[in-house]
Amino acid sequence: MADSKKIAMISGITGQDGGYLAKFLLEKNYRVLGLYRRGATDTFSKLKEHGIFEQIELLDFDLLELSNICRLLKKHQPDEFYNLAAQSFVAASWEEPIYTAQADGMGVLYILEAIREFSPKTRFYQASTSEMFGKVQEIPQTEKTPFYPRSPYGVAKLMAHWACVNYSESFNVFACSGILFNHESPMRGKEFVTRKITSHFARIYTGKTGEPLELGNLNSKRDWGYAGDYVEMMWKMLQHTTPDTYVISTGETHSIREFVEEAGKHCGFDLQWQGSEDSETGTDKKTGKVVVKVNPKFYRPAEVDVLIGNPEKAKKVLGWNAKVDFKSLCRMMMLADIEREKK
Ligand code: G4F
């Protein structure tokens, strides 16, 4: 008997969102084909931690290899393709602007071309980003806010976003662009600021280090949600009658400093800030120890000062709501890292 399961391809399966989305789709009885880049340093630990490693069929994939993408689409004819693969670290994009443009911009065009030519029924989800708003032209940001990217990453993602809109209008490809604001979880990579904070604080808390956490700009603000909530929206977009663009966010914004303070509370830190700008430090009032200090090495050539999204359209059209709020997210991440360090 033919296998009647829907087929979902997920590129970037080894990343934070890949794991949450794969789990979500497996629970919906999809056959999940996980695309990964051979030689990626972060391999399958997240999928193993989710307990779903054995249920995913893994396939070699590279965003820069058009022939590989064409073969995969031609052979598997997936119902849905979720493109979560990218050079996703904004800071690295100034060091690797060309690679970032190729992977995050051109790579998406390759997938769209492969769909157009070899698998036109495949519905496509593109992981777009609030970084496209960059130097924000409006507060809060909606689907109609003009873009102003501030990093090579934002520029590349903007190309991919418009390619989705264009392929949907020109060739009838069902391509959706999810403008996701920052979304975090205990599975977040440690290069991103939230997990950098919780993983380092957990090491201080469990006595594994006495070194303070070094951070860059403490005053930028982000609209942080929970990755587990956000993957549901990726799926909902592809189930809708027409392809479209959606902002996915919580509608709240908090500074890096607030995240530090909130996470610190779960380690018993009562932070007092001293000094200014490049020499600012955060001391735990109880112990007198410096637990955070600014290191300008982590500043960016151009900063995105404040992001806050308006998720009204997602709520109205797709019936979606972010469930985990800022405080619960900090707590979840902090407790998970403390548990990991204790083990
Ligand atoms: O955690 P971040 O590195 O995330 P960023 O740059 O906002 O990008 C993330 O969210 C985007 C969605 O808006 C995604 F598209 C993207 O792929 C990624 O997931 O940095 C957040 C803020 C920045 O303002 C940065 O300057 O934290 C500030 N920051 C301060 N100190 C730091 C540090 N960021 C990092 N990574 N490391 C620091 O030491």
- Give per-residue pLDDT as tens, 108-131: 999 999 999 999 999 999 999 999
Q: Can you tell me the mean pLDDT for 63-76?
A: 98
pLDDT of residue 39: 78
Q: Which of 153, 167, 205, 226 is catalytic?
A: 153
pLDDT above 90 covers a percentage of the chain that reads: 96
Is the pLDDT assigned to residue 266 strictly greater than 90? yes
Query: Model confidence over 136-152: pLDDT tens digits?
Result: 999 999 999 999 999 99
* Cα–Cα distances in angstroms (integers) from residue 193 to residues 40, 102, 139, 190, 206, in the given order: 21, 25, 23, 7, 20
Ramachandran assignment for 298, one of left (phi > 0), alpha (psi -120 to 50 degrees), beta (any other): alpha
Q: Is the pTM of this model over 0.85?
A: yes
CA distance 308 to 286: 34
Cα 135 to ligand 1 centroid, rounded to whole Å: 14
Is the pLDDT assigned to residue 14 strictly greater than 90? yes
Q: How confident is the model at residue 297 (pLDDT cuts 50, 70, 90)?
A: very high
Backbone dihedral angles phi then psi of residue 80, each to the nearest 5 degrees: -135, 145
Query: Model confidence over 303-320: pLDDT tens digits?
Result: 999 999 999 999 999 999
Q: How confident is the model at residue 43 (pLDDT cuts 50, 70, 90)?
A: confident
Q: How confident is the model at residue 332 (pLDDT cuts 50, 70, 90)?
A: very high
Residue 13 tokens read as 């399966």
Cα 196 to ligand 1 centroid, rounded to whole Å: 10
Nearest CA to ligand 1 atom 10: 182
Residue 1 neighbours by CB under 8 Å, 6+ apart: none
Q: How confident is the model at residue 206 (pLDDT cuts 50, 70, 90)?
A: very high
CA distance 233 to 231: 5
Measured on CA atoms in the order 333, 127, 90, 35, is the torsion positive or negative? positive
Is the pLDDT assigned to residue 337 strictly greater than 60? yes
Is the pLDDT assigned to residue 41 strictly greater than 80? no
Q: Which of 157, 193, 307 to mutate to test the pocket of ligand 1 (most atoms within 8 A of CB)?
A: 193
Backbone dihedral angles phi then psi of residue 289, each to the nearest 5 degrees: -85, 140
Do residues 157 and 208 lie in contact, with contact meaning Cβ atoms separated by under 8 Å? Answer: no
Q: Can you tell me the mean pLDDT for 224-235?
A: 98
Q: Which residues line ligand 1 (CB under 6 A)?
A: 88, 90-91, 129-131, 181-182, 191-193, 196, 215-217, 220, 222, 256, 298, 300, 303-304, 307
Do residues 33 and 9 lie in contact, with contact meaning Cβ atoms separated by under 8 Å? Answer: yes
Is the pLDDT assigned to residue 2 strictly greater than 60? no
Query: Mean pLDDT in the chain?
Result: 97
Is the pLDDT assigned to residue 10 strictly greater than 70? yes
Is the pLDDT assigned to residue 11 strictly greater than 80? yes
Query: Model confidence over 87-114: pLDDT tens digits?
Result: 999 999 999 999 999 999 999 999 999 9
68, 52, 70: which is closest to 60 by C-alpha?
68
